[in-house]
Structure 1
């Protein structure tokens, strides 16, 4: 168990009964499978999407880019500040765009500035990825990018079927992490990009708190997908950097996948 998890659990037991979901950095697009080429809108939000909870202020990311056919394209200059309206509060977010023209995979990567979480007295840096595809041609989805913290998908993350499973591998600088704690969260409230606000939740947060998986000796974990939509996985504190500005840093790996029903 990470120090972050220990501190958070103690805080919840003492004073935070409402905290049933986790921090998640979203690289949100309305679709994972892109039918029409063009500039695809994306919203970067630091949020509690499972229970439509608190929105945290997001600073301008250190990096925001895409990988397509093995080539990196910087997208940082597409970002503009945008206030996001959650159910509980508003928070600083960003809107941007992704140029999708050709067939294949488009891996969006956000490397944010560390966020100070006052309730835990630590910094959190979630290196987040989401995977888009056009025309069903697989090109980049299963590659290891060598990020400080990442989750390598073992199933195509943009067309997981409800009732099947998703398997990922937790990596730190490309090496597997055994015993990593992975928080799992369903995006119960998908953002409305046009108005930069939350929508009504489609499901309630699960009893018992945040869903958790633990990676095995080789860094693998598997989760059964019960319903359609966006699912996030956050491997806590797996990155090599453990401190920032004199405090503990939890350098997390985040991946978002999209599940659909078989029709």
Structure 2
């Protein structure tokens, strides 16, 4: 039998944890001004680290470790094109890029690790988005070669609302069985969730690392496969802590008949 004071302490801790609201999901956004450029041309991208459905809070982003674009079988570093910006008083980033040739351009960002004290871990979300120049329909399934990455099985630049988006979660180029995938909508429509469980949708990949999700409304949807890094990092206090590596892809669903 446990001593009564210890029993009371354990009970209080259990009750506390039962009523503490779940931490909001972090998503690294890399959102273009358009996902299809029918005549080619310039595209602007906004890089924001936030909670998309709730519209914030926006976290300060250090200058990303790297930003690039993969197009025509080649990768170009765009880190020197980054321009600091501000969203809700937090540091965010912008860049512009011209796409004069047909084909898919896959923009991607590797942020610096973000320390989340409430979860006792670092977060590194490798995020990407496809922009199709001249509506070519080509190259959208190419892989950038990120440490963790989602391979799209559905053309992400031609998705109607209600279509199913499918992808494969990979780590070091290999599928990750039963990976957890969080899904959030950039809620610029003021949609009210019935309860907190609806803010971040959670699905699991199958034994081959494949997941499927039907987007119920038009707009930008983020798919974040969350995996633990092989190596820990040192916390600000010098302790070994886990690192959450996120494989993110952003997909824009279009309304039919509008």
If the TM-score is normalised by the length of the shorter chain, which range does it land in?
0.7 to 0.9
Provide the residue aligned with 2:149 in structure 1: 150
Q: 1:202 aligns with which of 187, 190, 206?
A: 190
Q: Provide the TM-score with structure 2 as the length reference.
A: 0.85
How far apart in 2 are the matches of 1:262 and 1:247? Answer: 46
Aligned-residue offset at 1:49: 1.0
Q: 2:44 aligns with which of 41, 45, 65?
A: 41
Q: Say whether the 8 Å CA contact 2:34–2:43 is kept in structure 1.
A: no
Provide the residue aligned with 1:243 in structure 2: 232
| RMSD (Å) for aligned C-alpha atoms | 1.9
Is 1:32 paired with 2:22?
A: no
How far apart in 2 are the matches of 1:73 and 1:167? Answer: 27
Q: Provide the TM-score with structure 1 as the length reference.
A: 0.84
Aligned-residue offset at 1:13: 4.3
Aligned-residue offset at 1:12: 7.4
How far apart in 1 are the matches of 2:144 and 2:248? Answer: 13
Is 1:225 paired with 2:230?
A: no
User: Cα gap change, 1:144/1:203 in structure 2, threshold over 3 Å: closer, same or farther?
Assistant: same
1:22-70 deviation line (CA, Å, top 9, x unaligned): 1110111221112454332211100111111211111111110001111
Count of residues in correspondence between the two structures: 236
Gaps of 5+ in 1: 1-9, 190-200
Q: Say whether the 8 Å CA contact 1:242–1:251 is kept in structure 2.
A: no
Aligned-residue offset at 1:243: 1.4
1:58-69 pair list within 5 angstroms: 58-69=61-72
Gaps of 5+ in 2: 1-14, 235-239
